[in-house]
Amino acid sequence: MSTPIITCRNLSRWYGDVIGLNEVTVDIPPGITGLLGPNGAGKSSFLRMASGELRVSSGELRVLGERPFANPAYFRRMGYCPEGDRFFDRMRGRDFIVHLLRLGGYTRRDAGDLADQALLDTGMTYAAGTRLGACSKGMRQRFKLAQAIAHQPELLLLDEPLTGLDPIARHQTQKLLKSRAAQGVSVIISSHVLHEVESLTNSILLVNKGRIVATGEVSEIRALMDSHPHRIRLQCEDRRRLAALLVGRPDVLSLSFPDDCLMIETKDPDGFHDALPALLVENNLPVVGISSPDDKLEAVFDILVNGGNS
């Protein structure tokens, strides 16, 4: 078992009478983890405490084995990209990154070299001399990401870093994060763009109303949701004959015919998948495609947050 990069025990954060995070206990392993949840769920509160920006109201929080709040030694090991920004609009992009590196203790020469590399990695070299106040949302996002990675931290905490990026920039950012992860950097990424998180990682931590709703791999979480039938989509030329063979099976709850496919609902997906090949061979029924919409992150999210009613 890998040592968790983040360990929480009964972690809470409140703002006056408002609870941002409520009695969270979780261990987050190394690698890339998607932090998901609706607006106001507590994602940003979690990342702000993990980054050391906010003090813990109660409970225990360890990140890379350290208490984050007011801990300069920890700050050197972590890179944080917040959801919002408060730039000095007249400052140029490269100067912004160099300034933060200088505040972190780097010499002017080292800060310049690190800033140039970060701009190259994020595809922002062309805009190094642009004033931040003249930058688009996407450019500001990438400057924030550049400052987060510039000092080569071992952990990245990224709050909605894909928001405002065009498709090319999103692809470049995903490629960058995967590359960092391959080098041993751990990444916690908060996002509402579910399919893009799914393209980065299969490991998720889902937050709703200040609590952890689920954690683990998408397929593992879906398998635990026994109260919700599992849908399996079959593409077959003779779907009505296939339906006739399946309709009496005890593991088949319902059948339907959407989009020229046969949709099965079952509470025993493993048993159904085990029995299907023999059934198809015995009856000479070729199937050209098998997929499960409920193994997608969007479906898991919908069931856990909305009860599957959206």
Q: What is the pLDDT of residues 119-128, one digit of tens each?
A: 999 999 999 9
- Boundaries of CATH 3.30.70 in the chain? 225-306
For 163-209, write each residue's pLDDT tens digit: 888 878 888 999 999 999 999 999 999 976 667 777 888 888 888 88
Decide which of 3.40.50.2300, 3.40.50.300, 3.30.300.30, 3.60.70.12 is the CATH code for 6-222: 3.40.50.300
Full-model pTM: 0.77
Note the pLDDT of residue 191.
78
Q: Please state, in angstroms and rounded to a whole number, the distance separating the CA atoms of residues 150 and 126.
A: 17
Note the pLDDT of residue 274.
83
Q: Are 12 and 59 in contact (CB under 8 A)?
A: yes
Q: Please state, in angstroms and rounded to a whole number, the distance separating the CA atoms of residues 265 and 247.
A: 11
Note the pLDDT of residue 173.
92
Q: Are 76 and 126 in contact (CB under 8 A)?
A: no
- Architecture of domain 225-306 in CATH? 2-Layer Sandwich (3.30)
Note the pLDDT of residue 138.
92
Ranges of the chain with pLDDT below 50 = none
- Boundaries of CATH 3.40.50.300 in the chain? 6-222
